[in-house]
Structure 1
Amino acid sequence: MLPQTSFRSAQPTTRAATTRWLATLRASGDRPWVAVLLAIIVVVVASVIAGIRATDYVGGDNDDAMRLVEVRDFLAGQGWFDMMQYRLGLAGGTLMHWSRLVDLPIAGLIAVFGLVLPPERSEAAALFVWPILLIVPVVIGVARACNNIGGRQTMLIGLGLIVLSLISNVRFQPGDIDHHNVQLALIALLVAGLTDPLGRTGGHVLAGIAAGIAIAVGVETTPLVATAGTIVALRWAWHGSRMEGAAKAFGLSLAVTVAAAFLATTPPHLYGMVTCDNLSLGFFAIATSGGTTLYLSALTASKGSPRVRALALAVSAAAVVIVTMVVAPQCLANPLASLDPLLKTLWLDRVEEAQSIVQLSQTMPSYLGFGFAAGILAVLTCLIRIWRNDKREIHVIFLALCLPTLAISLFQIRGTTFLNFLSIFPLALAVSDLRHRAQREPRSTRAELAFAGLMLASVPSVWALAAAAIASMAGTDDTVMTGVKTSACVTREALLPLVGEPSGLVAAPSNLGAAILRFTPHHVLAAPYHRNTAGMLAELNIGLASPTAAGDLLRRDGVTLLAYCTEDGQTELVAQRAPDGLYATLGKGIVPDYLAPVQTPGEAALKIFRVRD
């Protein structure tokens, strides 16, 4: 799912709420906590309204439904260390790569609400509250970081930008329980700690802890954590004893947090396994060696000359490289590079968040402004101010954070979520400085226009609105503002006929897998997760095979039910690829003898068949 906005639910409240908030902000005077509280309230109100308007209490992403399934299994007694999804894939199930650190608070909320509410309503209440709770650390982190780099006015502008960002971000609306909102909250705290005034240890302890938990929650943030560690190390090498306490605090807190998370979430029998999509021995060894060597370098070489510190840093970097090459060399490669070509063509290339900017420019060019404009503007701002020696060090820091994130986003647009977020900090500082200039030159229209123009250009949703206006004039609706339409095949009503069937194994397009697990007691062959390659390949081969061969495959894999979705994009691709295959045959209305139709209401998009022995 694209890290897109959700204007359909949030836009009506945005303009009026933000206008009232900005007016109140100016009256907050010397009470910054008032501005922070108001920002939180505005975003919470917008999220609550979006949640009330939603037709389902679970978010629209497959990951939201799968996370709920995982939490349900945990509450039903599945072990803390047992991350198998036993109902997914071929016999034996699929070992998931997610973290119990995200499952735990959601499960806790469900258990608490379950004391006074029936099961489904307790789930709904927990899923309503959880994303809203995460708004708090995000706003506080942005406020603290912006105050660190530019003072009160930069903080107020940063709050304005994060409010506008969160209001239009589905990640913080009720029902979104995937880990991406947790990651954004952790990155906000990481940046807040990283920008603490030179030499202060408290902020760098916070940064190290946030970085360690971020690695444990999901490896998408690993490049940012590595960049943050490099920033602290280089600042220590440059400033010496002034950064000693901060470097030791970050290094030690990172190493301890990662070690604690590894021991707390990894089953003992998997201590020696290296996987590159979650916290395992690989990232444990790399992160703890990096943190420990930084701590030891700062402990022993802070009083030395710049040359001594540079040498100590080089030795530390060499140690981390050696650990990486010995323990986890495979983690330096793309974890999806070895994916089966069939899966790459029929699945991965269709995953929106995994598309490159080249693919996106062909499928949804309207997203380019929303996804990239603010990030590119932030990078250019940093470069210009570094060139002018204008607050150079802080802009080097943000260039180091934004530039790799931009590079990653060019190859996989899921990175734009972090790119847009990180752009807030250098752009808020630039807008604040332009505002100061406009105040010093009250008669300068140019200064006012520069301030207002940069403020508008710093808001991704402004680019989305512009794209929508252009699309409207062109007579198209393929914009970020249209959001993502939920397939008719994954609703509770569509899957209800499956509930009445004896528990068995369902062959269905991967996009239906999480919903089937959520709404029914059945097992499914496929769901869109890279660790379920065998199950996804089995389902695709069934659809591609001739009707006769498909019957043999269904019986071989023990499939008892087949779900055929007439509007599923992957199913259409399979039918086009194999015009004489099972899915193409079903699309023509021809049903093989070994499939017995299950009665579904009217002209339902989802057709269900029993597999005869």
Structure 2
Amino acid sequence: MRPVIGKPRGLEKGYADWPILVFIAIGFTILVLLTPGGRHAPELLLRDPDNVMRLVQVRDFLAGQSWWDVSQHRMAAGIPNNMHWSRLADLPLAALILFFSLFADTARAEVLAVIVEPPLLLIPTLYFLGRAAANLAGDEAAKVARLLALTATLFLSQFAPGRIDHHNIQLVLLALCLSALTDRPSWRAGAIAGTAIGLSLNIGLEMAPLLAIACAGMAARWLIEGAPMARIFNGLIAGLMVSSVFFYVLSVPPGEYARATADQLGRGHFVAIGSVGTVLLFASDKTSTNRRTRLLWLIMAAIAGVSAPLLAPELVRSPYSNIPPRLYDLWIENIRETASIVDVAQSQPSHLPRYFMFILIAFAVGLWLAKDLDRRGPVLLLLGVLAGGLVLTMWQLRAGAAASCVAIVIASAAIAHVWQGTNGRRSRAVAGTLVLVMNGWSGLALQALLERLEVRSENRTGQEIAGMPSGAIEGEEERPISRCEAAVRAAPLDSVPPGLVLSSLDAGAPILLRSRHETLSLGFHRNVQGVATTVDALLAPPDAARKILTARGVAYLFYCPSLEFGGFPRSTDASLGAMLAVGNAPEWLQPIAIAPTGDYAFYAVR
């Protein structure tokens, strides 16, 4: 018997077993803290400048910086430094620090909060993913969803202790949106999904393409199914319009309401949401069963959406449009998380299964599931979102976590549907085989096999794979501790009076976290002048570099082994960065502290 998609069975039990979810989160935390990467979280070695900067921002907020002020005042002194980050994403970490401060000192409270916050967010995410899967194929699907989630490394890495950037919060909201949109159609379910989308957009725009596809999918369902989908579609639009405005007003200073920005929610996005939403809100309130009429309404909404960039051109402007081409080539092209499928295929082809195998298999079985279930609408909706996630992951690997989130729901529903088949043992054997094949670990296993074959091939030919150096592209789950981050922790930075520091871009955020200094060298796309000064100085000969540093008021230079010191394509042996990399500092750099191992050198600029 085919399961009917509708009200989830076992809402108060089964996948809603909160103690089990808590136990899973605790076990996951312990396991991660025992791994080579995870054991550094208690030392606040957080592996990613975004994680470090999030803690710096929260620390400043708790120290009295205004709710409305998300600027980093020690970044690139004298240069506009709004971080474009939402204060809303600071709340979970700030709340945990305040809670742990009740029975621990501030330093220990920060460590506890950094360790606890990501796994804590995993609990509601697993719940919502289980609910979405149960909506498709019953309670058994929810149990499978938990299992698959714990093997989906791209997804799970976002909840590892220390991963305190905002991406895991957005995954919680994506899972909530999926659970609501696959639920029995109602205005309440639509409003919940719309509210989740509105909050996610205010936190960051990374999920915007997938959320837009979800909304388009609901519009398609309303077009095809008519009146039964009118209330949930109406609730979705209303929830999105109200929540996006509410959270915007809550987190944005009144003087910036009309901001024209491409990298955060602004006036242009509200032009699009308002124009499209108004048309659809009015249309979905009608209960007409005339499909042609509904199609006309959707065409009108599409015209309104396409016209929005005419009034707000920032909607089609790249967030990196303010970065000069030379900086883009030297800097953005070398950022790990912006690597594409082409980069992986050229440099480390054996890594392709890790990023794409689970997603592709889930998409394939989703096509079968949509054909076999009595009601195809929710499955087709998820397939559309997953297809968008797959394309985004091919463009930038960092989208793989969101795509995996959708794949977990589809794959678990397919496995549960096979398990519930009428062929008894045979159905269960097939379902068990799918579990073994369709999970994140199978991609890692295939990667390991391909790597062994590559090594054998290299040994026979005496050649290495062309492209990026080994390890240049890697997932968050295995990203090593930056040598610069560890160096900053070891260096006696506060042994001298506070001043402006120039360093590698990886070291900038840790310098803010562990010292009283200011820094130019932070790899955030709004810090263009600071990055340009860093690159120009380190690529220049020593005398020219000294003039650049003096003009910007740089008091100190911090060296650690990194791309900026002699590794840039345009770097020469006579450049300041290359000279420092071999320990040949010009006389105008006075040593303050130099590590015997060569891991760092701290100089005063004279």
The residue that corresponds to 1:135 in the other structure is 122
Q: Does 1:316 align with 2:296?
A: no
Deviation at 1:448, TM superposition (A): 5.5
- Determine the C-alpha separation between the residues in 2 that align with 1:96 and 1:31: 43
Match of 1:520 among 504, 510, 515: 515
Match of 2:493 among 487, 498, 502: 498
The residue that corresponds to 1:6 in the other structure is none
Give yes or no for contact 1:574–1:584 (8 Å, CA) kept in 2: no
Give yes or no for contact 1:372–1:420 (8 Å, CA) kept in 2: no
Deviation at 1:471, TM superposition (A): 3.0
The residue that corresponds to 1:351 in the other structure is 335
Q: Which runs of 5+ in 2 are unaligned?
A: 1-9, 457-469
- Map of 1:51-70 to 2, 5 A cutoff? 51=33, 54-57=39-42, 58=44, 59-70=46-57
Deviation at 1:30, TM superposition (A): 9.8
Q: Does 1:173 align with 2:160?
A: yes
Go from structure 1 to structure 2 and tell me whether the alpha carbon gap of 1:411 and 1:337 turns closer, same or farther (over 3 Å shift).
Answer: farther
- Map of 1:84-123 to 2, 5 A cutoff? 84-123=71-110
Match of 2:208 among 214, 222, 228: 222
Q: Does 1:237 align with 2:223?
A: yes
Deviation at 1:330, TM superposition (A): 2.8
The residue that corresponds to 1:9 in the other structure is none
Higher relative contact order (CA 8 A, sep 6+): 2
Match of 1:552 among 510, 524, 547: 547
Q: Does 1:264 align with 2:250?
A: yes
Deviation at 1:396, TM superposition (A): 1.8
Match of 1:468 among 448, 462, 480: 448
Deviation at 1:601, TM superposition (A): 3.8
Give yes or no for contact 1:366–1:480 (8 Å, CA) kept in 2: no
Structure holding more helix per residue: 1
- Map of 1:187-336 to 2, 5 A cutoff? 187-197=174-184, 199-299=185-285, 301-327=286-312, 329-336=313-320
- Determine the C-alpha separation between the residues in 2 that align with 1:390 and 1:569: 55
Deviation at 1:49, TM superposition (A): 4.0
- Determine the C-alpha separation between the residues in 2 that align with 1:366 and 1:515: 33
Give yes or no for contact 1:369–1:460 (8 Å, CA) kept in 2: no
- Determine the C-alpha separation between the residues in 1 that align with 2:26 and 2:347: 33
Deviation at 1:386, TM superposition (A): 5.0
- Map of 1:27-42 to 2, 5 A cutoff? 31-33=13-15, 37-42=19-24
Which one is further off, 510-519 or 575-584? Answer: 575-584
- Determine the C-alpha separation between the residues in 2 that align with 1:433 and 1:386: 11
Q: Give the counterpart letter for 1:611 in structure 2.
A: V
Q: Does 1:602 align with 2:596?
A: yes
The residue that corresponds to 1:510 in the other structure is 505
Deviation at 1:346, TM superposition (A): 1.9
Deviation at 1:421, TM superposition (A): 1.4
TM-score (norm 2): 0.89
Go from structure 1 to structure 2 and tell me whether the alpha carbon gap of 1:125 and 1:366 turns closer, same or farther (over 3 Å shift).
Answer: same
Give yes or no for contact 1:424–1:458 (8 Å, CA) kept in 2: no
Q: Does 1:412 align with 2:406?
A: no
TM-score (norm 1): 0.88
- Determine the C-alpha separation between the residues in 2 that align with 1:293 and 1:246: 16
Deviation at 1:475, TM superposition (A): 5.4
The residue that corresponds to 1:570 in the other structure is 564
SS of the residue aligned with 2:207? helix
SS of the residue aligned with 2:269? helix
SS of the residue aligned with 2:516? coil
Task: String of CA shifts for 1:275-333, please: whole Å, max 9, x gaps.
Answer: 1111222223323433333221111x322511112112222222233234312x23224
Q: Give the counterpart letter for 2:62 in structure 1.
A: L
Match of 2:478 among 474, 480, 483: 483
Go from structure 1 to structure 2 and tell me whether the alpha carbon gap of 1:324 and 1:481 turns closer, same or farther (over 3 Å shift).
Answer: closer
Go from structure 1 to structure 2 and tell me whether the alpha carbon gap of 1:522 and 1:361 turns closer, same or farther (over 3 Å shift).
Answer: same
SS of the residue aligned with 2:492? helix
- Determine the C-alpha separation between the residues in 2 that align with 1:118 and 1:492: 25
Go from structure 1 to structure 2 and tell me whether the alpha carbon gap of 1:468 and 1:217 turns closer, same or farther (over 3 Å shift).
Answer: same
Give yes or no for contact 2:154–2:476 (8 Å, CA) kept in 1: no
SS of the residue aligned with 1:54? helix
Task: String of CA shifts for 1:244-303, please: whole Å, max 9, x gaps.
Answer: 22112111111000001111111122122111111222223323433333221111x322
- Determine the C-alpha separation between the residues in 1 that align with 2:287 and 2:124: 33
- Determine the C-alpha separation between the residues in 2 that align with 1:171 and 1:121: 23
Counting aligned pairs with the same residue, the percent is 28
Q: Give the counterpart letter for 1:236 in structure 2.
A: W
Q: Which runs of 5+ in 1 are unaligned?
A: 1-27
Q: Give the counterpart letter for 2:522 in structure 1.
A: A
Go from structure 1 to structure 2 and tell me whether the alpha carbon gap of 1:528 and 1:461 turns closer, same or farther (over 3 Å shift).
Answer: farther
